Amino acid sequence: MTSAPLSIVIPTLNAMPRLADCLATLVAGLGAGLVRDVVVVDGGSSDQSPELALDMGCHVIQMGSQGRGRGQQLAAGAKAAKGEWLLFLHGDSVPLEGWIAACEAHMAKTPQLAAYFQLGFDDQARAAKRIAFWANWRARLLGLPYGDQGLLISRSLYESLGGFSPIALMEDVDLVRKIGKARLRGLSAKVETSAERYRRGGWWFVPLRNLLLLAAFLCGVSPDRIKGFYR
């Protein structure tokens, strides 16, 4: 019997309660024979994120606060994962209907390419729809999807690029730049991510801040320096 091809890697840090929705959605992938394992890499949560993941049958790696940072967490998760394909997914992002078929089609038809989901938010505010529109435009036109859109990539391509860099911030941008726009495709399915940081920080301020930090990173500013402005 052929093993399921896909490992899902999820970095967490106090990801409740959205992590519960995310993991519940992934169960269908196990039943469909797509998902081989789900690896949750926790960076020292003070909530019940690691316990929930264990209860739901995930392989949990607890790195503690010393291993905090998505770059380190994602790299550790990829190393522990067993699949020939990897789907990196944030704990507050929930794949919506059709995600299994979209992943299967990409893996079968364009295995040499990486892919990302279309972005949506768990908020129907006009501002949320505006941010999602521009995020999807940026991913399509510039080849710069962010980590909350997920990343589906074959292990062979991932390893040939050196994987995720253990940097403090912008690990998602760093990797997709190494992949390159020509090797990125948008999936037909959507992922719904939490809008809490926008509701808390401001629908205009957070996107503008993120844009400035992205520009700084692309201009060569160290992620360690950028991290001080990202909250």
Indicate the pairing of strand 6-12 with strand 85-88.
parallel
pLDDT at 229: 73
E strands in 48-183: 59-62, 85-88, 93-95, 114-121, 151-154
Q: Enter the pTM of the model.
A: 0.94
Is there a domain that residue 229 lies in? no
Q: Is residue 130 part of a domain?
A: yes
Number of domains in the chain: 1
Give the pLDDT of residue 168.
78
Is there a domain that residue 51 lies in? yes
CATH of the domain at 144: 3.90.550.10
Instruction: List own/partner pairs for 209-214 with CB under 8 A and 24 or more apart.
Output: 213/169, 213/170, 214/144, 214/170, 214/173
| Full domain range(s) for residue 174 | 6-196
Determine the pLDDT at residue 69. Answer: 84
230/91 Cα distance (integer angstroms): 19
Residue 103 included in any domain: yes
- The Cα–Cα gap between 153 and 127 comes to 31
Contacts of 214 (CB under 8 A, 6+ apart): 144, 170, 173
One pLDDT digit (tens) per residue for the chain, 231 residues: 568 999 999 999 999 999 999 999 999 999 999 999 999 999 999 999 999 999 999 999 999 777 668 899 999 999 999 999 999 999 999 999 999 999 999 999 999 999 999 999 999 999 999 999 999 999 999 999 999 999 999 999 999 999 999 887 899 999 999 999 999 999 999 999 999 999 999 999 999 999 999 999 999 998 888 877 765
In a domain, 102, yes or no: yes
